[in-house]
Structure 1
């Protein structure tokens, strides 16, 4: 069963979809954390449906300023605010009779993995978190790109303009991720299928992204569990991002590598979907059901 739900995060109304498996609850429940600019079902609907088929309730939702959720400026992406949105989602779930509030997990992909790890590091209600292909120090990732200092100067100027005038401009996601043509091609091809998805973000909010370091709180997740899933040929996320976070995390923890796979292949019908969900299924079975 799937139904539309609404809840509030710091006074902002958020829109989501709750999926509940057949049978008698309450059920262990997983919040799906979408990636950069993605709305609730862009590329993650198959993951949610897989989890429901295996006995989990799931919540997919739009962060503030995106999709069908309220919030202005539109497309402003501030990671700590998205962490607050996920924590509000957990609070909302705890009020539902279908949900076992003692068995809550997070599943995040790309930037959603970063948000999931940061949330789990702050909120002990998260009993298990799966982080797929996500940066753990966004400044470290961006500084590795040629021309970062000049680009960052423009971002900081945009931040100053926002602070002094409340004016924003946006940058298209495909332009921002141009180092990975395959992912950009997927964005441009798939975006028309999702009318509520606007694949862009405010330029000044990149300053907030550059300052976001989920790795700083990853050790706080223990003794709760964390699984990292790293595509071997990820052109967007530096190869050491997830291993670095794994090294800092406490037990129980697991890191798996998807040999030969790229960032865009972890989604939907991509070659990484099956091994990712197999690993996630085993992980959640061990730490949310057992």
Structure 2
């Protein structure tokens, strides 16, 4: 499928880079869906497959790397700042609406994992978004960390974060953590075994520019981010939430609770599998079709 390499200014003038997929088999201007990846992920990690599904359905698709990751500029490298990611996402929408192929009145937001939370937040505060899909979304940083970090590990983790903050305050380099680890008891941003298996496999197969590291401060800032607290504000924008019944990375119980707090119009897809089972194979076919149909219904109608 044809795509165009693009770049645009994120918050503060940082250059963000990605791809634009023109809508197929339709007249222009056409709707647009903005997509970006989760924690440490880069666009080569199957976002091209989702964008192709949307483009084939008559939707423009704009994919980009977060600041500090992949092909986008920004420093410190490998640092996840959710506040800036929300603002960059809104800049991506602005850039998309300046393109002649795009109908600026029909914008969709799509996110997966951590960026599922970003998409929820953007849809709640930016009324340019007319439909949103949150796939296995990160609902609450505080609640997720409470569930995923053993209580007896917390003092050690907090001590390390405090030491990193002091070091950076004094001008030192940021401390780094592995994004994933082969040792489920080891220190990593995503210590789950399926996270290690997926990221290492996909980085070898199709994303050689992915790096298995993230700043320690990223974990701290992720723990401050609580997009689920905004979910009731998404209405009247139509919401589709995709939840996996074996998700060990973004706890599905938090997603179910958030969905209950969301107002209509809303739709829930509960699918069988773990957090990383939806980027290829039958899982991908199921959830990409659900997202495609949601956007076609609410953006092309």
In the superposition, the TM-score normalised over structure 1's length comes to 0.94
After the TM superposition, which of the residue ranges 53-62 and 18-27 deviates more from structure 2?
A: 18-27
Deviation (angstroms), 1:251: 1.1
Poorly superposed stretches of 4+, deviation over 4 Å: none
Q: Residues 192-246 of structure 1, C-alpha deviation per residue, up to 9 Å, x if partnerless?
A: 3323222321112211100000012111111111111001011112121211211
Change in CA separation of 1:79 and 1:54 when aligned onto 2, cut-off 3 Å? same
Instruction: Indicate the larger mover: 242-251 or 209-218.
Output: 242-251
* C-alpha RMSD of the superposition: 1.5
SS of the residue aligned with 1:24?
coil
1:238 aligns with 2:251: yes
- Which deviates more, 188-197 or 61-70? 188-197
For normalisation by structure 2, the TM-score amounts to: 0.91
2:176 to 165, 170, 179: 170
8 A contact 1:156–1:207 mirrored in 2: no
* CA distance in structure 1 between the partners assigned to 2:137 and 2:160 by the alignment: 25
SS in 2 for 1:76: coil
Unaligned runs of 5+ in 2: 182-187
Contact 2:245 2:274 in 1 (8 A): yes
CA separation of 1:233 and 1:3: change in aligned 2, threshold 3 A: same
> Is the counterpart of residue 112 in structure 1 residue 115 in structure 2?
yes
Which aligned pairs between 1:228-267 and structure 2 lie closer than 5 A?
A: 228-259=241-272, 261-267=273-279
SS across alignment from 1:174: coil
Asked if residue 78 in structure 1 is aligned to residue 81 in structure 2, the reply is yes
Equivalent position to 1:194, from 207, 215, 218: 207
Question: Does the alignment pair 1:223 with 2:226?
Answer: no
In the other structure, the counterpart of 2:163 is: 157
Check if 1:17 corresponds to 2:30. no
Question: Where does residue 216 of structure 2 map in the other structure?
Answer: 203
Q: Partners in 2 of 1:264 and 1:199 — Cα distance?
A: 17
> What is the alpha-carbon distance in structure 2 between the residues aligned to residue 134 and residue 213 of structure 1?
11
- 1:162 touches 1:204 (CA, 8 Å); kept in 2? no
> 103-112 or 15-24, which moves further after superposition?
15-24
Indicate how the Cα distance of structure 1 residues 126 and 199 shifts in structure 2: closer, same or farther if over 3 A, else same: farther
C-alpha separation in 2, matches of 1:183 and 1:65 = 21
